[in-house]
Each structure stands twice: as structure tokens, then as C-alpha cells.
């Protein structure tokens, strides 16, 4: 996991603690939080996109073939995608 | 890809793929509120400014020197999300009129939790709505002061155990009913008021889009499931939201110019045990207490249906006096 | 020559704001600031300036509202007093920490307990540590001049801090004085439209008001302290520029007959003018006395103060506020601590006067000085006194 970098000196602080780089939270990889991860069974997947819609992290995306995958760098293993998948194409598998 | 205008043909795959609330935020696993924000931002699009009140969403998304927002965002304090939003709206209006910023519609959206809206924030919300700023206010209701450790707020449902309304031997959880802030907003003559839930994402996003189009104040009250505070399983977040709607505990409706309309029709209300059983915060309730709550849920739902069937749109009421005698 | 008009100072303050091409103002009425709010709303309603005037539902909202607008790049203004300022207290440090150039007029009024609507400085003193630039105006001309200067100082890239201009409620805001309004074209040249450092706009999305973990909070506060200290350079520069353009000079610490004085009286705010007359009278009686007027309260003008008082034997600091259970009035505490390490410094006394609008007359000042002089000659160290309190 990448280490978070704090400003070294007070002179480096942005005035007003403003953050000028949007979406910079991506530097913090929340993937280490998970105790289980989602695994897709492409044979059952109907490509409806529900797992993509319901992920609170927004880490589920489509690959070139149109099947869905979670970005394991950010997936927290909450299990919502597996729970909501209508055809039961997602299974939560223990980490480690 | 942009959101299709024809709301009825909505499908998850046609939703805007850009993430305005990016991964890397520090919300709990299975956080319904983070999901609600993510969906709301997709519906709003890039020409938006967010004024956030202190709460879970502000804290998890803005750790200096990073931010999870890909939209302009400002946070000042706990109770003044609506006040800051009013200021941003007034500032933009003046600057646009004077030509100092591009002549383009930018929507101001103020968001806060249930505490920052219904309790400490009610004054600034009421003031902002009364003044009629062109602003959308979204209340993300996870039914307690979750960020400070699950304390009771006026949005906590009756019977729920929180850390300041614990299930004790003498007093079993919160004794008061949930404060009805959407009603307060209708009383403020807000042209568009709606309740929503992240478990019905397309309904929620449609409402946000509709509110965005309103040239004036609008209010959306979004129920957000909090597995940490509600003591429920993190994977059941979406399911619980659905149960809240299906049991009638949180009906989804919209009020356009005073005309009430249920947007997610439920043919027959499920018994509330289905909803209460899955949450640890209700586990102390006796069957008598549950029946009490069930009666009250029916009463509140009937009150709502009364309004749906009986009230007219305000524009219909402009005609001569005695129209409905 | 420029024309001088007789105008109530509160109305003149609003007129001065009207000359500054503000974009937005949010005010909540409170006596004695209400004339400023009313007249400003008249100016906007008549179309004399193009600004958004938001009548908010509380002072807390008014400061939040102008902060939000300032974040979008607008030039903003608000005004308040006493209880309203205390209601804003939560937000004042936030505005300063977020480096938003809000300009605020504070019509000094006593704070409650018991409720009192008349003039003293107890409302601004609790805001000492909020990180704002704080000025005190002595008369109507200064109110007008310093209102215009405040915008320039606040918005300067080297400052970017909110400014509070204090004017005594009723004693100043409701008195009619002769004021020379600067020429609008010259004001436009002095004060061009605001060029904000960073704004909220989708064309360049930024996040303002982020969370500060313990790892960076102290650095943030240090940077704020440095910014406030550095702002003095800009303040002096702006006052210099004002003198060149308009002919009136402003200094952080002003003196009256103080160069050779053995006894110095220190005042802040409109009572300085009364004190000047008292100094004249005392000089006629043969006392070697002078007046020191503090105009800049934050950032505190250490060098100027030390230079003004070092030759004197006795300095009498008059306060119009109390720090209960402390070592005296707030100004006295500040000055005593500023002079502590100096090799050449006077004996410092403190008189708390004029609380809750009680009139302070020339004879009162004379009595304070004469009493202090007797004790000061003997080198007695005196505790602070509440002047004129019966019993």
C-alpha cells in the first residue's frame, strides 16, 4: 500500500488547507481493509450492471468483454455486490 | 456517456460512468451513505458545487492533502451547509451577472446528515428555503449522529437503541417518532420535495435530476443505511433500504408544487418485523413494542396516502375561491 | 477641493461599502448596526450598486453565507455587533483559517449579562484569537476611509485574511459627522475588482475546508499565524498608498503630544478624540502628558507601540472591556506582555472605563491621569481599577 505523504514543512501547506487535486483520495488504497473479496462467475453473469451501480466504493468496472470486475486495490469486501447479484454470479471468497 | 433523458428507459449500464466521488474514501464497508453520494453526483453531473456540512461524508472524503471529490466542494461547519450553499449561490449569481465567471448554469447542492439537517441545521435550512435560493438540499439520513458514535438524533426511528438513547431496563430506546422534515419543507412552499433511498438507485437519480432542473429551492431526503450504526450485516445495506420502503417505514414519494405522488408503489405493506429483525439496534424490542410501532407506521402511511389522494397541486388552487365546495 | 458632507456615520459606512463595488452582502439586524444594514439594502434596492443582498435569518448564517460567496470569488461584506458577533464566534476562526477575505463592520456594543445595547469593546475582545485583521476607527472619516482600505487589505495576495473594522456603536455609528467622501474614480483605481487566489467553480474543482489530521494541523496553524503577522507589511503599504492618493495618513499607533511626555494615556476607538481634549487641558495645568491611540489591534503593532512608549515613565491603558478573573482589561494585558522584556519601558496602569455606554468625559480622563500621576511618581504598582463605579 502506498504511504500517505504529509507536507514536510508548514511552508508547504496550501493556504486554507485547500486541496487543488480533485479525486486525489485514490492515493489511499482501501483494499487492505477487506476480509473477503468478490469473484465473478462469467458464465452466470447477465451483464446487467447492478454490481457496478451498488458498489459504495465505485470500484466495479467492466472489462473489454463486458464482464464486471472489482478493483481489489479499493474493494473493502462489504459483500453488497454478491448479495444483490440476481443470477448469483458473484461469490465472496475469504482473503488470504 | 451521458444520462438518457427518457427516465423510463433507464438501465444501470446507461448511467454516466464518470465517478465524481472516487474510491479511496474512508467510509465503512457497505456504507449506504457513500453509495448515495456516488449516485447523487452521477445524476448531478460536473456543473455542480457541493456545500457539505460536517458529518460522516465530509470526514471520510476530505483528508488533507487528498480529497475524494472530483467536484468543487466546500465545508465550513456542522450546522451551516444550507447557509454556505446560499452564499455560494448568491456569489455565483452576482459574479455571473457581472460577467466575471462564464455564463453557464452551475447548480449548488448543499448536503448534510440527519443531525446537520434536522437538528442543529434546521435553522439555516429553514432560512435558506424561505429565501428561495436556487439550491438543492440533500439530507443523507442514516438516522443518528453516526460520525460521532451513533448518538440519537431527531431522525432516529422510534424504538431504536443508540448510544444516547440506549435500550435500558427502564427506557427501551428512543421514545419519540422520527421528525418529518419533508413535511416541514412542503410547508416552506418548496416546489420540489422528495424522499429517496439508495436502494432504488434509478428512482433516486431521477429525483436528483428533476430537482436539479428546478429554478429555486428543492429538497431530497435520502434514507442511507448504516451497517455500523444499525448493527446490520454490511452486505444487506441495499436490502434494508428496500425493506424500509416495502414495510412502509420510509415511503418513497415526491411533492411537486404541493401535489403528493408515491413514486415506488407498494401493493401491500410487509410487516415491520421483516425490517426490524435484521438490525441489532431493534433487537431489544418486545412484541408489544413492535406492535406499537407497527400501528404507528400504518397511521403515518395512511396520513401520507390521505395527502396523496386528497391534496391538489398549488397551481390548481389559484382559481376562484370555493372551487372545491 | 473635495466637499465635506454631514452624515450619520452608520449611513456613511454603508455609502463607503457602496463605493467598493461589492458583489454580495449578507446582514442580520442588531442595534446599533442596523442603520448600516438598512442603508446598504437601500443602495442595492435603488440599483446604485449591483450586488446580491441576502437578508439572512441569523448572524451565524450571515457569516457562513458571506464565506460561501467569498469562496466563489465574490467581494463580500457583512456587519454585526455584540451578541451577533458572539453568535458568529464559531465561524470566525474558520473564515480566517480558510483564508477568505471577508470584510466585516462591528458596531461595538456591550455583551449581555445584563443585556445592554450601548457602547463598549467587550464584543470584539473575545474574538482576539480568531485570526482576523482587526482595526479600530476613531471618527466618521476614518470609518469611510478604512472601510475602503479593508477590502484592499483583505484581498491582497499576501494577506488573504478576513478584516474586522470596529466602530463604536451609538457613540460613532449614530452621530452625525463631517465626512469627505473620496472621488469614485480614484476609489476604483485604488480598489480594482477582486482577483481571487482560488475559487469554487467546476472549471477547476478544488476542495475547501478539508479535514486536518494531527500530523498537519499544527503546520496549518503556524502558516496562519505567519500570514497574520506578515499582513502588517501590506497594511502599511496600503496606508501609504492611501496617503498618496487621498492625502490622509494612517498609522498602526498614532500619538498626540507624546514625544516628550512623561505620562502617556492609551485609548482605542472614538474616545480618543475626547482624550485629546483632556490632554490639552492637562498640559495647560502643567502636566507632561501625551496620548497614544491604538488603531491596529491584530496583528499587534509591537514595534510601533514600543517606540511610542519607551521614553515615558508612566503609561495608563484605558480598557472598555473586562477580562474577568484576569490581570486587567484585554488591552492592558496585551500591552503589559508586549513590554515585559523591554529594557526601557514605563510603569503601566489600567483603568477600565466606559462600560455599557457610560459616558467618559474630558474631566474623567483628567481625573484618571491626575490620580495615576500621583501614584506613578512614587512608583507604586497598581492593580487594574474599574473607574467611576459606585461603591
Residue B283 in domain: yes
**Is residue A18 within 8 Å of residue C208, measured between CB atoms?**
yes
pLDDT at A66: 87
Cell of C69: 460567496
DSSP state of B151: B
Kindly tell me if the per-residue pLDDT of A4 is higher than 70: no
C4-246 matches C253-386 in fold: yes
Asked if pLDDT for residue C193 goes beyond 80, the answer is yes
Eight-class DSSP state of C127: G
ipTM of the complex: 0.93
Q: Which CATH architecture has domain C253-386?
A: 3-Layer(aba) Sandwich (3.40)
Tell me if B69 and A77 make a contact (CB, 8 A cut-off): no
User: At a CB cut-off of 8 Å and minimum separation 6, what does C34 contact?
Assistant: none
- On whether residue B320 sits in a domain, the answer given is no
Is 60 exceeded by the pLDDT of residue A2? no
Q: Which of A19, A77, A92 sits opposite B66 (nearest CB)?
A: A19
C301-320 pLDDT, tens digit each: 999 999 999 999 999 999 99
Q: How many residues does chain A have?
A: 96
pLDDT digits (tens, 9 = 90+) for C143-165: 999 999 999 999 999 999 999 99
The CA distance from C68 to C64, in Å, is 6
For residue B202, give its domain range.
16-315
Residue B68 included in any domain? yes
Distance CA C220, CA C223 (A): 5
Task: Enter the DSSP assignment of C82.
Answer: H
Supply the pLDDT for residue B153: 95
Q: Residue B9: its pLDDT value, please?
A: 41
Is a pLDDT exceeding 60 seen at residue C26?
yes
One CATH from 3.40.50.300, 3.90.1150.10, 1.20.1250.20, 3.40.50.970 for C4-246: 3.40.50.970
Asked if B245 and B199 count as a contact pair (C-beta separation under 8 A), the reply is yes
**Exposed e or buried b for every residue in B175-205, given b needs 16+ CB within 10 A?**
eebbbbbbebbbebebbbbbbbbbbbbbbbb
Domain spans of chain C, in order of start? 4-246, 253-386
- Judging contacts by C-beta atoms under 8 Å, the chain A residues touching residue B25 are 25, 30, 57
What CATH number should be reported for the domain holding residue B68? 3.40.50.970
pLDDT band at B1 (very low <50, low <70, confident <90, very high): very low
Q: Is A14 on the interface with B (CB under 8 A)?
A: yes
Asked if residues B135 and B128 have their Cβ atoms less than 8 Å apart, the reply is yes
Q: Write down the pTM of the prediction.
A: 0.94
Q: CATH number of the domain that A78 lies in? A: 3.30.70.20
Which of the four pLDDT bands, split at 50, 70 and 90, describes residue B5?
very low
Residue C276 above 60 pLDDT?
Answer: yes
Contact state of B77 with C71 under an 8 Å Cβ cutoff:
no
Give me chain B's average pLDDT, please.
Answer: 92
B259 and B309 in contact (C-beta within 8 Å)?
no
Q: Is B65 on the interface with A (CB under 8 A)?
A: yes
Distances (CA, A) of B223 to B31, B317, C180, C199, C284: 12, 32, 59, 32, 78
- Cβ contact, residue pair A7, C198, below 8 Å: no
C76–B74 C-beta distance less than 8 A: no
Report CB contact under 8 Å: C223, A15. Answer: yes
**Distance between alpha carbon B148 and the CA centroid of its chain, in Å?**
19
Task: Return the residue of C nearest to A7 by Cα.
Answer: C216
Q: Does C216 lie at the interface with A, CB-CB under 8 angstroms?
A: yes
Q: What is the DSSP string of C293-315?
A: EE-EEES--HHHHHHHHTT-SEE
Question: In percent, how much of chain B has pLDDT > 70?
Answer: 95
**Which residues in chain A have Cβ-Cβ distances shorter than 8 Å to C202?**
none
Range of lowest pLDDT (B3-7, B138-142, C58-62): B3-7
Alpha helices in B25-97, H assignment, sequence order: 32-44, 56-61, 81-97
CA of residue B14 relative to chain centroid, distance: 24
For the segment B57-103, what is each residue's pLDDT rounded down to a tens digit? 999 999 989 999 999 999 999 999 999 999 999 999 999 999 999 99
Restricting to B residues 92-151, those with a Cβ less than 8 Å away from any Cβ of C are 92-95, 97-98, 100-102, 106, 123-124, 126-127, 130-131
Q: Minimal Cα–Cα distance from B62 to chain A, Å? A: 8
Average pLDDT, chain A: 89
B157-175: pLDDT as tens digits: 999 999 999 999 999 999 9
Under a CB-based contact definition with an 8 Å cutoff, are residues A33 and A72 in contact? Answer: no
Beta carbons within 8 Å of B314's beta carbon, 6+ residues apart: B189, B257, B258, B259
The pLDDT value given to residue A47 = 87
B window 136-165, beta carbon within 8 A of A: none
- The range of the structural domain enclosing residue A46 comes to 31-94
A23 found inside a domain: no
* CA R_g for chain B: 20
Whether the predicted pLDDT of A1 surpasses 60: no
| Average pLDDT of the segment spanning C210-238 | 94
Which pLDDT score, from 0 to 100, does residue B15 have? 79
The predicted model gives C347-363 an average pLDDT of 94
Q: How confident is the model at residue B6 (pLDDT cuts 50, 70, 90)?
A: very low
Q: pLDDT category, B3, cuts 50, 70, 90? A: very low
Instruction: Please tell me the predicted confidence (pLDDT) of residue B318.
Output: 84
Model confidence at B13, in pLDDT bands (50, 70, 90)? low
Cell of C347: 510603569
Confidence of residue B139 (pLDDT cuts 50, 70, 90): very high
**3 state SS for chain C:** CCCEEEEEHHHHHHHHHHHCCCCEEEECCCCCCHHHHHHHHHHHHCCCCCCEEEECCCHHHHHHHHHHHHHCCCCEEEEECHHHHHHHCCCHHHHHHCCCCCEEEEEECCCCCCCCCCCCCCCCHHHHHHCCEEEECCCHHHHHHHHHHHHHHHHCCCCCCCEEEEEECCCCCCCEEEEECCCHHHHHHHCCCCCCCCCCCCCCCCEECCECCHHHHHHHHHHHHHHHHHHHHHHHHHHHHHHHHHCCCCCCEEEECCCCCCEEEEECCCHHHHHHHHHHHHHHCCCCEEEEEECEEECCCHHHHHHHHCCCCEEEEEECCCECCCCECHHHHHHHHHHCCCCCCCEEEEEECCHHHCCCCHHHHHHHHHHHHHHHHCCCCCCCEECCCCC
Per-residue pLDDT reduced to its tens digit, A45-74: 998 889 999 999 999 998 899 899 999 999
Could you give phi then psi for residue B133, rounded to 5 degrees?
Answer: -65, 150
Q: What is the pLDDT of residues B241-298, one digit of tens each?
A: 999 999 999 999 999 999 999 999 999 999 999 999 999 999 999 999 999 999 999 9
How many structural domains compose chain A?
1
- Strands C24-27 and C52-55 turn out to be parallel
Number of domains in chain B: 1
Whether C132 contacts C298, CB under 8 Å: yes
Q: To probe the interface with C, which of B22, B44, B90 has the most C CB atoms within 10 Å? A: B90
User: Which residue from B207, B250, B258, B305 is spatially nearest to B10, judged by alpha carbons?
Assistant: B207
Residue B16: which pLDDT band, with cuts at 50, 70 and 90? confident
Q: Which of residues 9-38 of C touch A (CB under 8 A)?
A: none
Do the domain assignments include residue A12?
Answer: no
| Cβ neighbours of B62 in A, within 8 Å | 19
Confidence of residue C370 (pLDDT cuts 50, 70, 90): very high
Amino acid at each position: 500500500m502506498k504511504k500517505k505523504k504529509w507536507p514536510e514543512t508548514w511552508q508547504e501547506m496550501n493556504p486554507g488547507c485547500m486541496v487543488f487535486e480533485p479525486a486525489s483520495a485514490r492515493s489511499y488504497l482501501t483494499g487492505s481493509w477487506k476480509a473477503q473479496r468478490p469473484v465473478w462467475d462469467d458464465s452466470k453473469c447477465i451483464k446487467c450492471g447492478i454490481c457496478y451501480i451498488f458498489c459504495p466504493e465505485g470500484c466495479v468496472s467492466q472489462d473489454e468483454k463486458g464482464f464486471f470486475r472489482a478493483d481489489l486495490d479499493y474493494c473493502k469486501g462489504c459483500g453488497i455486490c454478491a448479495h444483490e447479484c440476481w443470477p448469483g454470479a458473484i461469490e465472496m471468497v475469504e482473503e488470504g | 456517456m451521458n444520462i438518457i433523458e427518457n427516465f423510463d428507459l433507464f438501465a444501470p449500464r446507461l448511467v454516466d460512468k464518470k465517478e465524481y466521488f472516487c474510491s479511496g474514501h474512508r467510509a465503512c464497508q457497505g456504507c449506504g451513505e457513500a453509495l448515495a453520494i456516488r449516485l447523487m453526483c452521477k445524476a448531478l453531473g460536473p456543473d455542480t458545487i457541493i456545500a457539505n456540512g460536517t458529518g460522516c461524508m465530509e470526514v471520510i472524503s476530505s483528508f488533507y492533502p487528498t480529497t475524494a471529490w472530483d467536484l468543487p466542494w466546500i465545508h465550513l461547519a456542522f450546522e451551516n451547509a444550507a447557509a454556505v450553499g446560499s452564499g455560494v449561490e448568491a456569489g455565483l449569481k452576482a459574479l455571473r451577472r457581472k460577467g466575471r465567471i462564464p455564463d453557464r448554469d452551475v447548480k449548488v447542492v448543499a448536503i448534510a446528515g440527519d443531525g446537520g439537517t434536522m437538528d442543529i441545521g434546521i435553522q439555516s435550512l429553514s432560512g435558506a428555503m424561505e429565501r428561495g435560493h436556487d439550491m438543492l438540499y440533500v439530507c443523507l439520513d442514516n438516522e443518528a449522529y453516526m460520525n460521532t458514535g451513533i448518538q440519537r438524533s431527531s431522525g432516529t426511528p422510534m424504538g431504536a437503541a443508540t448510544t444516547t438513547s440506549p435500550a435500558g431496563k427502564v427506557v427501551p430506546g428512543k421514545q419519540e417518532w422520527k421528525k418529518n422534515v419533508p413535511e416541514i419543507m412542503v410547508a416552506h412552499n418548496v416546489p420540489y420535495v422528495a424522499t429517496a433511498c439508495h436502494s432504488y438507485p434509478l428512482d433516486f437519480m431521477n429525483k436528483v435530476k428533476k430537482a436539479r432542473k428546478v429554478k429555486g429551492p428543492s429538497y431530497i431526503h435520502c434514507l442511507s443505511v448504516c451497517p455500523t450504526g444499525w448493527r446490520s450485516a454490511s452486505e444487506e445495506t441495499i436490502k434494508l433500504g428496500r425493506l424500509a420502503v416495502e414495510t412502509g417505514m420510509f415511503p418513497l414519494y415526491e411533492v411537486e408544487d404541493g401535489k403528493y405522488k408515491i413514486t415506488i408503489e407498494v401493493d401491500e405493506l410487509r410487516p415491520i418485523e421483516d425490517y426490524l429483525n435484521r438490525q441489532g439496534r431493534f433487537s431489544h424490542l418486545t412484541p408489544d413494542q413492535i406492535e406499537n410501532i407497527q400501528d404507528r407506521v400504518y397511521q403515518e402511511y395512511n396520513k401520507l396516502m390521505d395527502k396523496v389522494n386528497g391534496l391538489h397541486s398549488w397551481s390548481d388552487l389559484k382559481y376562484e375561491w370555493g372551487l372545491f365546495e | 477641493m473635495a466637499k465635506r458632507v454631514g452624515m450619520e456615520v452608520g449611513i456613511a459606512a454603508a455609502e463607503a461599502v457602496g463605493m467598493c463595488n461589492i458583489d454580495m452582502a449578507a446582514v442580520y439586524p442588531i442595534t446599533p448596526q442596523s442603520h448600516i444594514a438598512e442603508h446598504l439594502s437601500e443602495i442595492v434596492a435603488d440599483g446604485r450598486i449591483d450586488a446580491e443582498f441576502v437578508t439572512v435569518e441569523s448572524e451565524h448564517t450571515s457569516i457562513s453565507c458571506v464565506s460561501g460567496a467569498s469562496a466563489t470569488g465574490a467581494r463580500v461584506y457583512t456587519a454585526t455587533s455584540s451578541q451577533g458577533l458572539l453568535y458568529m464566534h464559531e465561524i470566525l476562526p474558520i473564515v480566517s483559517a480558510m483564508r477568505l477575505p471577508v470584510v466585516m463592520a462591528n458596531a461595538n456594543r456591550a455583551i449581555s449579562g445584563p443585556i445592554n445595547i450601548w457602547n463598549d469593546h467587550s464584543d470584539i475582545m473575545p474574538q482576539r484569537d480568531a485570526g482576523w485583521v482587526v482595526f479600530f476607527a476613531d471618527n466618521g472619516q476614518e470609518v469611510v476611509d478604512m472601510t475602503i482600505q479593508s477590502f484592499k487589505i483583505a484581498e491582497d495576495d499576501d494577506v488573504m485574511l478576513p478584516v474586522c473594522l470596529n466602530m463604536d456603536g451609538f457613540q460613532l455609528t449614530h452621530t452625525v459627522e463631517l465626512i469627505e467622501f473620496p472621488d469614485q474614480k480614484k476609489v476604483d483605481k485604488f480598489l480594482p475588482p477582486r482577483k481571487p487566489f482560488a475559487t469554487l467553480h467546476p472549471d477547476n474543482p478544488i476542495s475547501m475546508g478539508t479535514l486536518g489530521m494531527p500530523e498537519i494541523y499544527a503546520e496549518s496553524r503556524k502558516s496562519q499565524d505567519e500570514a497574520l503577522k506578515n499582513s502588517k507589511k501590506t497594511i502599511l503599504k496600503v496606508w501609504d498608498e492611501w496617503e498618496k492618493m487621498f492625502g490622509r495618513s494612517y498609522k498602526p499607533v498614532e500619538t498626540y503630544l507624546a514625544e516628550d511626555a512623561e505620562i502617556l494615556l492609551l485609548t482605542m476607538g472614538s474616545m480618543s478624540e475626547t482624550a485629546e481634549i483632556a490632554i490639552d487641558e492637562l498640559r495647560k495645568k502643567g502636566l507632561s502628558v501625551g496620548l497614544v491611540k491604538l488603531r491596529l489591534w491584530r496583528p499587534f503593532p509591537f514595534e510601533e507601540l514600543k517606540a511610542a512608549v519607551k521614553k515615558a515613565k508612566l503609561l495608563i491603558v484605558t480598557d472598555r472591556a473586562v477580562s474577568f478573573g484576569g490581570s486587567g482589561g484585554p488591552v492592558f494585558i496585551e500591552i503589559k506582555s508586549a513590554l515585559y522584556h523591554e529594557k526601557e519601558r514605563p510603569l503601566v496602569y489600567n483603568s477600565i472605563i466606559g462600560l455599557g455606554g457610560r459616558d467618559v468625559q474630558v474631566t474623567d480622563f483628567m481625573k484618571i491621569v491626575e490620580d495615576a500621576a500621583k501614584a506613578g511618581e512614587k512608583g507604586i504598582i497598581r492593580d487594574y481599577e474599574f473607574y467611576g463605579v459606585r461603591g
